[in-house]
Amino acid sequence: MEKKASKKLPTKKEGAAGKTEGEVKNHFSFCESIHATSLSKWHIRRLTDEGPKHGGGIDTDSLCGRVEKGRGWDLEVKPGNKELMGQTDKWPFVCKECLQRYVENM
């Protein structure tokens, strides 16, 4: 039986800059504040070499500054490309200021 080729995971040294074959590098992540509720907006932050912090303790502020370093966690979902994220009407659950800054920085 033929084995499927496995995707290479980024090493600690590659960090957020690492990518698997066929993937676009993504140096950003959706995040939430430690005070988030079911109605809270998602925010976007720039990742460091440490990568996403799904268990909390994010190491950068959100792009809008509302979620401060150390006071939130990353979500499993990643922001998309500039064209997709630029359609702000399709993202009502994401902070508009974060979206705008994300599209400008892509």
Q: Is residue 17 part of a domain?
A: no
Of 79-83, 89-93, 94-98, where does the model show the most confidence?
94-98
Q: Is residue 7 part of a domain?
A: no
Q: Is residue 4 part of a domain?
A: no
pLDDT confidence band for 2 (50 / 70 / 90): low
Q: Is residue 69 part of a domain?
A: yes
Give residue for tokens 């080729």: 5
CB 96 within 8 A of CB 88: yes
Q: Is residue 12 part of a domain?
A: no
* Structural domains in the chain (count): 1
Rounded CA separation 90/81 (Å): 13
- What pLDDT is stored for residue 26 in this prediction? 74
Q: Is residue 16 part of a domain?
A: no
Q: Is residue 18 part of a domain?
A: no
Rounded CA separation 13/2 (Å): 31
Kindly report, residue by residue over 4-42, the tens digit of the pLDDT: 544 444 444 444 444 444 444 679 999 999 999 999 999
Residue-range definition of the domain harbouring residue 51: 26-105
Q: Which of 61, 85, 74, 86 is nearest to 31 (CA)?
A: 74
Higher pLDDT, 3 or 29: 29
Q: Is residue 43 part of a domain?
A: yes
